[in-house]
Structures are given as C-alpha cells and as structure tokens.
Structure 1
Amino acid sequence: MANYTSQHILNTSANLLGFCLFVITSLRITNQIETHIIDELTSVIAVLLTCSCIFSFISIRTQNEIKEKRFETIADYFFMVSLIGILIIILLITLNLTK
C-alpha cells in the first residue's frame, strides 16, 4: 500500500520543528522574561513535532501494512496536537496575554 500521508507529515513536521527551534533560540538570546510561557509551550511543541517526525518516518520505512497505518495515525495525532499548540502560541503573541 502506498503511503502518502506520512511523507507530508514528516516534511511539514520537520519544517515546523526548525521554526520552533528558531523561536526558542530567539527568545533565549533576547532574555525576555515575559515570554517564559511562550518559551515553555514552544519547547513542548518541539518535542511533539519530533515525535511526529519519528513516527511518520517509521511508518514510511515499515513493510507491515498494519504497523504502517498505526504509526501513521500516531504521527497524525502528534502533528494535530502540535498544530493546536502553535495556534495557542500565536494567540498568546497576538493578544499579548504573556504580560
């Protein structure tokens, strides 16, 4: 069975992971105390995106169709939770709720 969703999840998760690491580094360099919540949330999202990358990669590499679908579903859930977390961070930044 061809596995197309996992390839998209892997690519997008890796890109968003790089963005999260950029945000974390930027917040650390500027030493902004009021962005502590954003820093913590971004770190958690980076971990979730890493898990999504790992499971989607395993899904692509496995030969067992049942395991492939299971790993793809797990990667999808990690990815969706990460997207919701990114939305929360965007809302915090936009609404200035971190002050």
Structure 2
Amino acid sequence: MEKKSPHILNASSNLLGFCLLIITSLKISKISGSTYVDDIAAVASLSLVVSCFLSFLAIRTENDVLEKKYEKYGDYLFLFALVCISCTVIFVSLNLIK
C-alpha cells in the first residue's frame, strides 16, 4: 500500500493557504462579523494544520504502528477540512452570506 502522508502534507499545506485567503478577504471586506463562513474556514484551517502535523509525524516516525495511526488521523482530518472548505465555497458562490 502506498503511503499517503506526503500527499496529505502537500495538499493540506496548499489548502491551508486557500483558507487563510478566504478568512483574510472576509476580514478586509468587513463581512466576517455577520456570517459563519469565516468561522467554518477557521475550523478548516485548524484541521489542516493538525493534518499537516500528523502527516509530518507519519513521515518522520520509524514506528510502523504509529506511522499508520498518524496517517489515518491526518487523513480523516484532511477529509473533514475538505468538507468545511466545500461548505464555505458553496456559501460564497451561491451568495448565501449576507
């Protein structure tokens, strides 16, 4: 089975930048106080940070049991963050933020 940790680390760090861009643009436009979109993006950002950390630990550890555990939890957090980002994009694209 191919190791997913390097892919998770790469994708998580890139999506983390996207989440920070969303949060920053909402703060600049002063919409952040009246919507939950920035809160959802913040939860996604924190999930991606932890996913990056767990993926890094999975790459660096020499213990096979810990490696699989870190990779599994990092993968689940990445999926959760992806769902949060998808919700954020849907809210913004359908103009559901007011």
Normalising by structure 2, report the TM-score. Answer: 0.91
- CA shift digits 1:17-66 (9 cap, x unpaired): 01111111111112125763111111110000001001000000000001
Ranges in structure 1 where 5+ consecutive residues have no aligned partner: none
**Greater fraction helix:** 1
SS at match of 1:4: coil
Task: Say if 1:41 and 1:89, in contact at 8 Å, map to a contact too.
Answer: yes
Identity of aligned residues (%): 42
Q: Which amino acid aligns with 1:57?
A: F
Give the aligned partner of residue 55 of structure 1: 54
Which structure 1 residue ranges, 4+ long, deviate > 4 Å from structure 2? none
Q: How many equivalent residue pairs? A: 98
Give the aligned partner of residue 83 of structure 1: 82
Question: 1:33 and 1:66, CA in 2 relative to 1: closer, same or farther beyond 3 A?
Answer: closer
Normalising by structure 1, report the TM-score. Answer: 0.90
SS at match of 2:35: helix
Task: Say if 2:32 and 2:38, in contact at 8 Å, map to a contact too.
Answer: no
Give the aligned partner of residue 4 of structure 1: 3
| Separation (CA, whole Å) in 1 of partners of 2:22 and 2:95 | 16
| Separation (CA, whole Å) in 1 of partners of 2:70 and 2:32 | 38
Computed over aligned residues only, the root mean square deviation of the Cα atoms, in angstroms, reads 1.7
Task: Say if 2:6 and 2:55, in contact at 8 Å, map to a contact too.
Answer: yes
Ranges in structure 2 where 5+ consecutive residues have no aligned partner: none
Q: Which amino acid aligns with 1:76?
A: D
